[in-house]
């Protein structure tokens, strides 16, 4: 009979996520996790097979938390702007998780139009929000989305790495200015 688990999977995952939020993904080791739980590392492995499984649970938890930000953005008056603002807010409030999800080297390099569907689980919802809110085709919505993602990713990266800080008003103004210019440009073509 296998030993009784001292901790539940959710408890271990939450502790692992706390470590990553504070010290980054590379700080997540079985030893650190055991210390964080007030235990040795052994009880972790009565629930998880190995640290890779723990790491995957942390990544899934980080994605779920990020999705809460996206869903909040999608309820804004202008959902696309709301999502962009929430993306940046996530980088400010959860910089280590932002780095884990959006600044980690990928095994294969996707092309420009393949990157967003790869990293953004809500890609289709966001794309549809652009089409509906601005009455444009899917092709034009994709162009806007990709160009503005590059811009918002730049701002978010500056925030997540503590290179720069912006006020909410500055972020709103920057996103609006760039979006308005891009929208005008794509509609003229």
User: Apex CA 80: angle with CA 124 and CA 169, to 5°?
Assistant: 155
Question: What structural domains and CATH numbers belong to the chain?
Answer: 9-48 (1.10.10.60), 65-188 (1.10.357)
Q: What is the pLDDT of residue 4?
A: 62
Q: What is the pLDDT of residue 5?
A: 64
Range 70-84 average pLDDT: 95
Going by pLDDT thresholds of 50, 70 and 90, the confidence category of residue 74 is very high
Q: Of 3-17, 28-42, 133-147, give the lowest mean pLDDT range.
A: 3-17
Q: What is the pLDDT of residue 40?
A: 86
Average pLDDT over the chain reads: 92
Report the distance separating Cα 178 and Cα 159, nearest Å.
18
User: How much is the CA Rg of the chain, to the nearest whole Å?
Assistant: 19
- Indicate whether 1 pLDDT > 50: no
Range 170-181 average pLDDT: 94
pLDDT digits (tens, 9 = 90+) for 60-73: 999 999 999 999 99
pLDDT digits (tens, 9 = 90+) for 109-163: 778 778 888 888 999 999 999 999 999 999 999 999 999 999 999 999 999 999 9
- Reported as half-sphere exposure (CB side, CA atoms, 13 A), residue 165 has a value of 5
- Indicate whether 176 pLDDT > 80: yes
Q: What is the pTM of this model?
A: 0.91
């Amino acid at each position: 009979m296998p030993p009784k688990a001292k901790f539940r999977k959710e408890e271990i995952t939450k502790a692992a996520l706390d470590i990553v939020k504070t010290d980054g993904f590379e700080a997540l080791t079985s030893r650190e996790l055991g210390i964080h739980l007030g235990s040795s590392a052994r009880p972790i492995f009565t629930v998880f097979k190995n640290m890779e499984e723990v790491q995957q649970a942390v990544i899934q938890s980080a994605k779920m938390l990020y999705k809460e930000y996206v869903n909040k953005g999608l309820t804004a008056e202008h959902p696309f702007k709301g999502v962009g603002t929430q993306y940046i807010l996530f980088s400010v409030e959860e910089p280590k998780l932002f780095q884990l999800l959006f600044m980690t080297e990928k095994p294969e390099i996707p092309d420009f139009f393949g990157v967003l569907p790869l990293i953004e689980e809500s890609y289709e919802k966001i794309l549809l929000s652009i089409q509906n809110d601005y009455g444009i085709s899917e092709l034009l919505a994709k162009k806007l989305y990709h160009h503005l993602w590059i811009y918002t990713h730049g701002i978010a990266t500056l925030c997540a790495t503590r290179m720069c800080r912006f006020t909410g008003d500055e972020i709103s103004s920057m996103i609006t200015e760039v979006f308005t210019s891009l929208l005008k440009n794509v509609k003229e073509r």
